[in-house]
Amino acid sequence: MEANLTQKTFKGFFWQFGGTIFQTFLQLGVLFVLARLISKAEFGIMQSALVVVGLSQLLSQMGVGPALVQKDNLTPMHIRVASTISLILSLIFFLTVFLCSGLLAAFFKMPELRDVLKIISILFIIEGITTVSQSLLLREMKQKILVKINFISYLAGYGVVAIILSFYGFGLWSLIIGQLVQSLLKCILTFIKCKHSITPSFSKKETKELLYFGGGFTIAKLFNYLALQGDNIVTGRYLGPDALGVYSRAYSIMVKPVGLIGDSIDKALFPAMAARQNQHDRLIEAFINGSKMISFLCIPISCVLIFSSKEIINVLLGSKWSDTVIPLQILTAGLVFRMGYKMGDCLSRATGNVYSRAKRQFVYAVCVILGCYIGSRWGIIGVSFGTLFAVTMNYILMIHLSLSILKINWIYFLKKTLPELHIAVLLGVVFIAVIFLVRQFIASDFMVLLFSYGTYGIGLMVLFYYFSNKLSFLAVLPFKGVLKKITKRS
């Protein structure tokens, strides 16, 4: 049973990781095209709309999805109740945002936002239907299916619809319609792959059980969402849509590794940790190894993004977006903390400590909003520094919570996670040297990225092939076997 669960966890991680790689490249390709067809202000308006919709979606689901994943003894009645709660709340928030669109547009000082919110609020109903099926697939660790659904829906929504419409001059509306098509397709495919009863139920016992966990999860998620979007809210309100368009593009590039590594680990480990929530030693092992892996991968990735940010912006967005370079570098400096706190986030949810998590997310949200508000006096660079400060504070808070849950101290945690990081630092220094040398001989930004990333990637494969047994958190993963198979096929 334990071996089977471990195998499912690793399979889930690799499917999530591999799928995220493909989707990341797809998203970067779409961004490459859209950045040349859509203005900074239109990106800023769309980002403001997504802030409102995302917040309302969070409240409209009341955490019933994660509650279904975490619940020990899940019954068909739990599923019916979750479906009922999600759909009713989604309808309520659809009407709320639709009717309050004018007030929200006035808050952001963007008159164009009013009509945008009226249309995009349809997402509430679509996501309300999607929630239960998606959560059941995650509970069963069927990441392979979820990865395929996410890839297909994004490819159709943004990869096809948004690009075609923007090419024909639809501008902002191409982003809106692309988002709606993506969500609708995801909803249909998810329900097909995981059909469940949609017969309404208000069973008191199941409702209480789901809402107790879901309520704590939602409170924590609400504060976390305010923290993640506080920089966008401050930038949009005080610096305007152009500045928000620039900042949001820098953020979207920086956050790609978070989705690639952090979210992949979270989606694989959350159901696995929830299944082992009463096995203390297993939880400690999973938390330590996950933290070591994230730190080891993040340090070199930060160096890669910081020291090649000029080429990245010029290739992906074009020279007109040059003011995105410095915010990208500042935000990337906190990458190890942004991904590192996800282990604590995952552990607290898996063990049911959602209210302790909520308190720390409240502090995080306050740090983001205050830091960005103060920083806004110096433009988007000041906002970026405010975000960096808040992310660092949140990392400390979430690790402290994790150590309390696991009943271990900071000294033990640091002794277990720090010894191998000198290798990560060395890898970062190697990349800095590689890109410096490549720049001396190549003028094209694209070719600089191609040669430097290619050389660096080969170096990493050599490291994993010959030295994976020296890295304790990698020793359990079959890198050599995978690479040998690749070598034989080629």
pLDDT single digits (tens) 414-471: 888 887 777 788 888 888 888 888 888 888 888 888 888 887 777 777 766 665 555 5
Max avg pLDDT among 66-70, 251-255, 366-370: 366-370
pLDDT at 65: 67
Res. 6: pLDDT tops 50: no
Q: Where are the domains of the chain?
A: 2-418
Which residues, including other chains, have CB under 8 Å from residue 334's CB and lie 6 or more apart? 387, 388, 391, 392
pLDDT at 475: 43
Across the chain, mean pLDDT equals 78
Res. 16: pLDDT tops 90: no
Output the DSSP codes for 186-254. HHHHHHHHS---------HHHHHHHHHHHHHHHHHHHHHHHHHHHHHHHHHHHH-HHHHHHHHHHHHHH
Distances (CA, A) of 299 to 17, 25, 414, 426: 18, 21, 16, 9
Mean predicted confidence (pLDDT) in 346-351: 78
pLDDT single digits (tens) 22-64: 666 666 677 677 777 777 777 778 777 777 766 655 555 556 7
Q: How far is CA 488 from the centre of its chain?
A: 35
pLDDT at 63: 61
pLDDT single digits (tens) 184-211: 998 899 888 888 777 777 777 777 777 7
Give 328's pLDDT tier (boundaries 50, 70, 90).
Answer: very high
pLDDT single digits (tens) 271-294: 667 666 667 777 887 788 778 878
Give 267's pLDDT tier (boundaries 50, 70, 90).
Answer: low
Among 429, 253, 246, 388, smallest CA distance to 320 is for 246
Distances (CA, A) of 149 to 63, 128, 271: 22, 17, 19
